[in-house]
C-alpha cells in the first residue's frame, strides 16, 4: 500500500481533541503519525492540503444504495462514487433491499457487491423481523456472524409491541445495536407531509408528530425493560428531542441522529408539486427544526446522517402523495453541515464529530478518528470552495434533491479509505 504524506492542512479530530495545522502520515493502510514525521518516512504520494481541513472520513448511519433489487434507480458503483466524493468512507445499509437483509446469504451478497464496487466499508443492517413484516423474528445471531452491524426494521413499523419486546430482548442477549426509526403505522396513516397548516393549505394527507413521539416513547419503555442498546434514527420534532434528553438523563443506553435535510428545511419550504420535498419523516415546523439544531449542539442528538435515498425519475413523477419519499443526499452532506456552522448552530468540531467519531461510537467500531493504528479513513476538504449542484458535478444516479441548482460552499478534494485514495477532485471541478 502507498505511503502518503498529507501536508500543511488544518487537522481537526474531535475524538483526540486535535485542532491544529500540520501533517498526517499514512502507511500500510493505517494512520502512522499525526503532525510528527516518522523516522525514515519516504512518501509515495504527497497531498498538499494547504488552506484545507484534514479530518476523519465520514460515517453515514442510514443509506439506501438500491442494490440488490432496484438497480434501475442506482447501483453500488454509482452511489459509492457519490459517497467518496462526499468524504464518506463508511456506509450503513438499511435492510429494505430486495430481497430483504434477513438471511446470511443476503448479507454475504451485500459484502460481495461492496467489494466489486471497490468500496468494502459497507455495513449491512439486518432486518429485525423476517421480510420486515413485523411478525417473525429474524435469525439475528446468524446475521451478526455474517457481518451485519446492527438490526432494524427500516421504515416499517413493528405493530405488535410483544414482538418488538422479544426482538429487543434477543438483540440485547447478543449485544446487537437496534437502529429504530420511530413511526406508528396507524397514526402515520399513509401521509406525506407534516400535519399542520401547510398540509391543510395544499390538501396533502398529514402525519402528526405523535406518530413519531408515541412510537419513540413505547420503545423507550422497552429499552428500560429489556436493556437493549437502541439508536433512534432520523428524528424530526421537538418532543422527540426532549424525550431523548430525558432518557439519557436517566441513564438509558440510547443515542439518536437527525437527517441533514431536517436541519435546513421545514414544511414552509415545501413546493406542493415538487416531490423532492417528499421525505419521511416529513419536514416539520420551524420550532421543530430549531429544537433539532439545539439538540445537536447540546449532544442530545449525537450524529447527522444523510438518509440517502436515490430514485429514478419515474418514482418522483405524479401527484405529491403518490411519489416515492426520499432525497439523494450523500454529496450535500458536507456543505450542508458547513452551512450549520456558518449559521452558528454548531461549531465545526461538533459538525465533524457528528459525522465521524460519534457515529463510530454508536456502532462500536474503531473508526471516526485519526488515531495512530486506526485504518486511514480520511476526508480532506476545502471549506471555502463553492460549487453548484448540477449534472456536471453530481455523481449519484439519483438526482432527487431539493438543493438542485443551488450553489453550496465546501467541497471534498480527497477521500482516503483504509489508506487508498478513492476520490480526488479534478482541477477543473
Cα-based distances in Å from 121 to 60, 83, 118, 389:
11, 11, 9, 26
Number of H helices, E strands in the chain: 12, 18
The residues facing 9 across adjacent strands are 22
Domain assignment of residue 150, yes or no:
yes
Q: What's the domain count of the chain?
A: 1
For every residue of 362-388, which 3-state class applies, written as one string?
Answer: HHCCCCCCCCCCCECCEEEEEEEEEEE
On the 0-12 / 13-18 / 19+ scale of CB atoms within 10 A, 248 is: middle
Q: What is the CATH number of the domain that holds 108?
A: 3.20.20.140
- The domain in which residue 236 lies consists of 57-363
Identify the helix (H) or strand (E) that includes residue 339.
Answer: helix 333-342
C-alpha span between 296 and 138 (Å, rounded) = 33
Residue 168 belongs to a domain: yes
pLDDT of residue 273: 86
In three state form, how does the secondary structure of 209-278 look?
A: CHHHHHHHHHHHHHHHHHCCCEEECCCCCHHHHHHHHHHHHCCCCEEEEEEHHHHCCCHHHCCCCCHHHC
> Is 428 a member of any domain?
no
Q: How far apart are CA 216 and CA 239, in angstroms?
A: 10
Q: Are strands 303-305 and 254-259 parallel, antiparallel or unpaired?
A: parallel
Pick out the chain residues at pLDDT < 50.
428-429
Q: Is residue 68 situated within a structural domain?
A: yes
Provide the pLDDT for residue 272: 80
| CA 134, 181, 203, 73 torsion-angle sign | negative
Q: Does residue 307 have an active-site annotation?
A: yes
Contact in structure between 62 and 92 (CB atoms under 8 Å): yes
Options 13, 257, 288, 307, the catalytic residue: 307
Calculate the average pLDDT of the chain.
Answer: 96
Euclidean distance between CA atoms 310 and 330, whole angstroms: 10
Cβ count within 10 A of residue 178: 27
DSSP structure class, residue 429: -
Structure pTM? 0.97
Q: Residue 313 burial by CB count (10 A; 0-12/13-18/19+): exposed, middle or buried?
A: exposed
Q: Is residue 28 domain-resident?
A: no
pLDDT value for 427:
62
Q: Is residue 119 part of a domain?
A: yes
171 domain residue, yes or no: yes
Please report the pLDDT score of residue 429 as a whole number.
Answer: 38
18 belongs to a structural domain:
no
Amino acid at each position: 500500500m502507498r505511503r502518503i504524506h498529507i501536508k500543511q492542512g488544518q487537522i481537526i479530530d474531535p475524538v483526540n481533541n486535535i485542532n491544529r495545522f500540520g501533517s498526517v502520515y499514512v502507511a500500510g493502510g493505517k494512520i502512522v503519525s499525526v503532525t510528527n514525521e516518522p523516522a525514515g518516512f519516504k512518501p509515495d504520494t504527497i497531498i498538499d492540503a494547504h488552506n484545507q481541513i484534514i479530518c476523519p472520513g465520514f460515517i453515514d448511519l442510514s443509506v439506501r444504495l438500491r442494490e440488490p433489487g432496484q438497480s434501475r434507480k442506482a447501483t453500488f458503483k454509482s452511489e459509492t462514487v457519490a459517497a467518496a466524493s462526499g468524504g464518506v468512507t463508511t456506509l450503513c445499509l438499511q435492510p429494505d433491499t430486495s430481497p430483504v437483509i434477513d438471511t446470511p446469504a443476503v448479507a454475504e451478497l451485500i459484502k460481495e457487491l461492496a467489494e466489486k464496487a471497490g468500496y468494502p466499508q459497507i455495513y449491512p443492517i439486518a432486518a429485525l423481523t423476517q421480510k420486515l413484516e413485523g411478525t417473525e423474528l429474524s435469525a439475528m445471531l446468524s446475521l451478526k456472524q455474517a457481518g451485519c452491524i446492527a438490526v432494524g426494521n427500516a421504515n416499517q413499523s413493528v405493530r405488535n409491541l410483544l414482538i418488538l419486546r422479544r426482538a429487543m430482548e434477543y438483540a440485547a442477549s447478543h449485544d446487537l445495536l437496534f437502529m429504530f426509526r420511530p413511526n406508528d403505522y396507524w397514526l402515520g396513516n399513509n401521509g406525506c407531509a407534516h400535519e399542520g397548516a401547510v398540509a391543510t393549505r395544499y390538501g396533502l394527507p398529514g402525519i402528526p408528530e405523535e406518530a413519531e413521539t408515541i412510537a419513540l416513547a413505547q420503545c423507550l419503555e422497552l429499552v428500560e425493560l429489556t436493556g437493549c442498546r437502541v439508536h433512534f434514527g432520523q428524528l424530526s420534532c421537538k418532543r422527540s428531542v426532549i424525550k431523548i434528553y430525558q432518557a439519557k438523563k436517566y441513564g438509558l443506553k440510547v443515542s439518536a441522529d437527525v437527517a441533514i435535510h431536517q436541519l435546513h428545511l421545514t414544511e414552509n419550504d415545501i413546493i406542493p408539486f415538487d416531490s423532492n420535498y417528499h421525505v419521511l419523516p416529513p419536514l416539520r415546523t420551524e420550532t421543530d427544526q430549531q429544537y433539532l439544531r439545539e439538540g445537536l449542539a447540546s449532544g442530545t442528538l449525537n450524529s447527522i446522517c444523510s438518509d440517502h435515498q436515490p430514485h429514478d425519475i419515474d418514482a418522483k413523477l405524479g401527484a405529491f402523495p403518490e411519489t416515492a419519499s426520499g432525497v439523494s443526499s450523500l454529496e450535500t452532506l458536507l456543505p450542508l453541515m458547513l452551512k450549520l456552522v456558518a449559521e452558528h448552530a454548531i461549531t465545526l468540531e461538533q459538525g465533524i464529530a457528528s459525522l465521524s467519531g460519534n457515529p463510530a461510537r454508536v456502532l462500536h467500531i474503531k473508526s471516526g478518528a485519526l488515531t495512530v493504528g486506526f485504518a486511514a479513513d480520511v476526508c480532506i476538504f476545502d471549506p471555502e470552495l463553492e460549487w453548484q449542484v448540477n449534472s456536471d458535478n453530481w455523481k449519484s444516479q439519483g438526482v432527487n434533491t431539493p438543493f438542485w441548482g443551488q450553489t453550496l460552499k465546501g467541497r471534498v478534494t480527497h477521500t482516503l479509505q483504509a489508506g487508498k485514495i478513492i476520490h480526488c477532485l479534478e482541477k477543473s471541478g
